[in-house]
Copies of this chain bind each other. A is one copy, B any other.
Amino acid sequence: MSRDPSVKRLRLALLLRLLHREYAHDIEASLAEAGFGDIRSGDAKVFPFVPPEGIAVRELAVQAGVRKQTMAQSVDQLEHAGYLERRTNPRDGRSRLIVLTERGRAVRPLAAGMGDRIERRWAELTSPEEFETLRDLLHRLLDRIGQADPDAAARLTSLDDSHLD
């Protein structure tokens, strides 16, 4: 793992931010190309987690690693755009079941594969081994941070899907 001293050592935070932004741009481009330009990149994360029988907003939030309020906002957007519906949950009056509409079902396979495709493309830009190493290192670092700091652990619960909020 050679270190090139001619390259300015950028702050880690900047590297993380730039890479995350590229990811979002890629998602957006994929959606637009497939004719779903009205889905915003942040909302695409919903689709892979909506099963045919429906799912609660809270559970969706845990799966996607965001707060329930953030997920509720995405669900609002997608409901408005006609990709999904909120149904009452006959088994729990507080909860509502999110289900895909016809239109939403058309997006599902695309959305599920999108993240994989981007990661595969990136893996090929360096090397698959290098990319897996990168993922492992990020994961390990997050785990260690969570172990070292209970507050951080609470924020990182999405890693082991205990509860959020």
Contacts and interface: CB of A to CB of B under 8 A. Distances in A.
Instruction: State the copy count for this chain.
Output: 2
Interface string A137-165: 11111111100100110011011000000
Contacts of A14: 64-65, 158
A136 B18 contact: no
Interface string A113-153: 00100010010011000111111111111111100100110
A21 interface: yes
Contacts of A125: 141, 144-145, 148
Given A18-B156, A126-B144, A139 B7 contact: yes
A43 B37 CA distance: 33
